Structure 1
């Protein structure tokens, strides 16, 4: 997830990497290193999490652990319900659509 999640956060706000660095307080060189697959230091990660609204739990991976269907759908549902651009009805409709698609496309 890492760099990709932060990149999506910047794109959703229509920001350049330079603007992300400026707004988040993280150096552009740190963002460049992350884009190359390197890990940020703890302070940079904390600043990026605070800036993006992402959560550290989204970046913690336990070897051999695969998230369950309930875990994945619960996270998606929480994000939808927290989105100020969606009404309760809109979030519910998207949730139902995603659950249906997930059931149809998941690996057994």
Structure 2
């Protein structure tokens, strides 16, 4: 039986790491604040998947939506363009001034256009 859907634990861990960096925390602090064990975070760094309770705790702590990391063989639902999502996130980041968000947005869009693969 082939899997029709799966959880992209690697992408979730990368996003979790970005949340950690954004909050200027180390992994021990993440473990304490989220209520998961440090060993769970270590296992995730090694490519292992968290258990359901650990995933829920980390999603609640980080504000990440676990649905964003569910992958399927057939992506039938319309998804927002990644560039649009980046722009939205930058402009809603409380750590950036309006001018900084616009500057980063323009830089990313220019780089994206330059490096984009033609479909």
* Shift, 1:14, TM fit: 2.6
State the structure with bigger RCO (CA 8 A, min sep 6), 1 or 2: 2
Partner of 1:81: 91
Matches within 5 A, 1:41-80: 41-63=51-73, 65=75, 71-80=81-90
C-alpha distance in structure 2 between counterparts of 1:53 and 1:104, whole Å = 32
Instruction: Specify every segment of 5 or more residues in structure 1 that has no aligned partner in the other structure, as ranges.
Output: none
Q: Could you say which residue in structure 1 is the equivalent of 2:111?
A: 101
- The residue that corresponds to 2:25 in the other structure is 15
More helix by share: 1
- Cα RMSD between the aligned structures? 2.2
Give runs of ≥4 in structure 1 deviating > 4 Å.
none
Q: Which stretch shows the higher mean deviation, 2-11 or 23-32? A: 2-11
TM-score (norm 2): 0.74
Counterparts in 2 of 1:103 and 1:64: CA distance versus 1, 3 Å? farther
How far residue 64 of structure 1 moved from its aligned partner, in angstroms, is 5.9
SS state of the match for residue 15, structure 1?
coil
